[in-house]
Amino acid sequence: MAVQDAIDTIYGDPVHDWDEFWLQPGRMLLCSVTHPLRLGPRFAACIGGLSHLARAGLAVHLASPWVMPGWDGHLTLELFNAGPAVLKLRQDMPAARAVLIRMDGEPGDPGRHEHYGYPGHLGSRYAAEFGAQLLGSGTGE
Instruction: Write the pLDDT tens digit of every residue in 6-64.
Output: 777 766 677 778 899 999 999 888 888 888 999 988 999 999 999 999 999 999 988 77
pLDDT value at residue 137: 46
In total, how many domains does the chain have? 1
CA distance 66 to 61: 10
- Spatial CA neighbour of 80 closest among 24, 3, 5, 140: 24
Kindly state whether residue 54 falls inside one of the protein's structural domains. Answer: yes
| Residue 120 CA: distances (Å) to CA of 113, 115, 127, 130, 141 | 14, 9, 17, 20, 33
For residue 89, the domain's CATH number is 2.70.40.10
Mean pLDDT along residues 93-114: 77
Mean pLDDT along residues 132-141: 48
pLDDT value at residue 63: 76
Residues 100, 46: contact at Cβ < 8 Å? Answer: no
Kindly state whether residue 133 falls inside one of the protein's structural domains. Answer: no
Kindly state whether residue 95 falls inside one of the protein's structural domains. Answer: yes
Kindly state whether residue 117 falls inside one of the protein's structural domains. Answer: no
Kindly state whether residue 12 falls inside one of the protein's structural domains. Answer: no
What type of residue sits at position 14? Answer: P
pLDDT value at residue 8: 72
Please enumerate in sequence order all residues whose Cβ is within 8 A of that of 113, keeping only pairs 6 or more positions apart, or say none. none
Kindly state whether residue 19 falls inside one of the protein's structural domains. Answer: no
Which tens digits make up the pLDDT trace of 55-99? Answer: 999 999 887 788 988 899 888 888 999 999 999 999 888 999 999
pLDDT value at residue 135: 47
What type of residue sits at position 4? Answer: Q
Kindly state whether residue 132 falls inside one of the protein's structural domains. Answer: no
Angle at 129 between CA 26 and CA 73, to 5 degrees: 75
Mean pLDDT along residues 115-134: 58
Instruction: Mean pLDDT check: name the lowest of 83-92, 100-109, 124-133.
Output: 124-133
pLDDT value at residue 16: 77
Whole domain around residue 38: which residue ranges? 27-105
Question: Residue 117 in 3-state DSSP?
Answer: coil
pLDDT value at residue 114: 54
pTM above 0.85, yes or no: no
Kindly state whether residue 45 falls inside one of the protein's structural domains. Answer: yes
Residues forming the active site:
78
